Amino acid sequence: MTFETTQLAVLHGIIEEIEDYAVISLDLSGLVKTWSKGAYKIKGYQEPEILGQHFSIFYTENDRISNLPCELIKTAALEGKASHEGWRVRKDGSSFWGMVTITALHNGADVIGFLKITRDLTDRRQAENTIREQLALLESKNKELEQFVYIASHDLQEPLLNIMNFLELIQQELPEQSSDTLRWYLDIIAASGSRMRGLIKSLLDYSKICSSAVPTQVDCMKILEEVTTDLQISIKESGAILHYQDLPIINGFATPLRQLFQNLISNAIKFRRPDVSPDIQIKAIARNHQWEFSVRDNGIGFDPQFSDKIFLIFQRLHHHEEIDGNGIGLANCKKIVSLHGGKIYADSIPNQGSTFTFTIPFLLPATSYEKV
């Protein structure tokens, strides 16, 4: 018995019981020398009918025409190993997606054959394809929805503007002897129209988030200084105190990030407790390859069971008669954080305050750049 034959016999005994992988050995020319239970399970050939056959029988016609099997053998002989992932053919003619590794077997410096291991990855590939298709469909639907929101909101402005203009004319020309009830009706119409105008503007703002954003190095300290300046009237009237220091410079979209901080701070001021000045603390720490920001206040808080609901568009926990707003600010926040590949969530204790936490990865995901 030659050394080569002894080597192959030992190898055959080791791999015979492996069933999850097709493990076979080849001679120098690529003929099948040993066969395993796993090879039968994946490829469908019985050992007697496949021994002595060239392993190219497992490849598609196009791969054979392009001489892929022989090229893999040559690469394994020269480099010690060759790998390839692609469609393979079973005995019954059906195809499966296989990951193949061919390793050269040596006797000293001489190559005496090859060990070929194949794994059936068809289920994984189908799952990946399904996920890709669903993601592509979801992205398409999201784009359609954003376009619809933009178009619908834009088209709604003109008729609403006419209504408000003519309402103003009616109020101006209304005879002095008109009843208080009639004036009350007109005031209600005017207030509703004004609220509708605010909702339409909010929809437009939501649809346009990040439509022209460019990723840059964003200084969060500078953003907070600008936001504080923009909100100085609200801050002064409410007596709010903002605490922030040593905030980082991050990779992101400057304008949306500014809107994110402004929305969270505005909410902290708006949802304050009566006769209690807002105390707002903004912090950031580096953790798990991302920045974790928190905006904490001492306001009225909310029931924790609604911690997910508050991020839905037009969802409000308070009537607009109680606290002004249209229920879109936190939806904007979630959209901005998602654009950066992060997450946002809220914790709260009623009548004690709320903490909004969001993450921004050190490196933006590729999908963020594709969206803008």
Tens digit of each residue's pLDDT (9 = 90 or more) over 32-79: 999 988 999 999 999 999 999 999 999 999 999 999 999 999 999 999
Of residues 368 and 31, more confidently modeled? 31
Please tell me whether residues 10 and 158 are part of one structural domain. no
| Mean predicted confidence (pLDDT) in 300-319 | 72
Please tell me whether residues 243 and 315 are part of one structural domain. yes
Q: How does 25-64 read in b/e, with b if 16+ C-beta sit within 10 Å?
A: bbbeebebbbbbbbbbebbbbeeeebeeebbbebbeeebb
Strand runs labelled E in 211-343: 215-219, 241-243, 249-253, 279-287, 290-296
Tens of pLDDT, residues 125-184: 888 888 888 888 877 777 776 677 677 667 777 788 888 888 888 888 888 777 888 888
Please tell me whether residues 189 and 239 are part of one structural domain. no
| Mean predicted confidence (pLDDT) in 335-364 | 92
Band (12; pLDDT cuts 50, 70, 90)? low
At residue 74, the pLDDT reads 95
Element (H, E) at 85: strand 81-89
At residue 82, the pLDDT reads 95
Please tell me whether residues 43 and 146 are part of one structural domain. no
Tokens encoding 28: 């120098």
Last residue of a domain, one of 186, 208, 230: 208
Please tell me whether residues 32 and 112 are part of one structural domain. yes
Q: How confident is the prediction for the chain on average, in pLDDT? A: 84
Domain, as residue range, for 188: 123-208
| Mean predicted confidence (pLDDT) in 197-224 | 74
Please tell me whether residues 236 and 347 are part of one structural domain. yes
Last residue of a domain, one of 120, 155, 187: 120
Tokens 């994946």 -> residue: 42
At residue 372, the pLDDT reads 41
Tokens encoding 308: 């997910």
In the predicted structure, residue 371 carries a pLDDT above the cut 70: no
Please tell me whether residues 12 and 85 are part of one structural domain. yes
CATH of the domain at 34: 3.30.450.20
At residue 155, the pLDDT reads 74
Of residues 221 and 310, more confidently modeled? 221
Please tell me whether residues 328 and 222 are part of one structural domain. yes
Please tell me whether residues 233 and 364 are part of one structural domain. yes
Please tell me whether residues 174 and 271 are part of one structural domain. no
Last residue of a domain, one of 120, 139, 169: 120
Of residues 196 and 304, more confidently modeled? 304
Give the torsion through C-alpha atoms of 176, 182, 185, 191, to 10 deg.
Answer: 0
In the predicted structure, residue 319 carries a pLDDT above the cut 50: no
pTM: 0.51
**Top-confidence range, 98-102, 121-125, 178-182, 320-324:** 98-102
CATH of the domain at 247: 3.30.565.10
CATH of the domain at 176: 1.10.287
Query: How would you classify the pairing of strands 344-349 and 290-296?
Result: unpaired
Point out the least confidently predicted range of 96-110, 111-125, 140-154, 211-225: 140-154
Please tell me whether residues 116 and 127 are part of one structural domain. no
Band (331; pLDDT cuts 50, 70, 90)? confident
Closest CA to 311 of 337, 285, 292: 337
Band (200; pLDDT cuts 50, 70, 90)? confident
At residue 178, the pLDDT reads 78
Angle at alpha carbon of residue 58, lines to 55 and 61, rounded to 5°: 110
Q: How many domains does the chain have?
A: 3
In the predicted structure, residue 306 carries a pLDDT above the cut 90: no
Q: How far is CA 156 from CA 196, 198, 314, in A?
A: 10, 12, 17
Tens of pLDDT, residues 238-296: 999 999 999 999 999 888 898 899 999 999 999 999 889 999 999 999 999 999 999 99
Please tell me whether residues 149 and 165 are part of one structural domain. yes
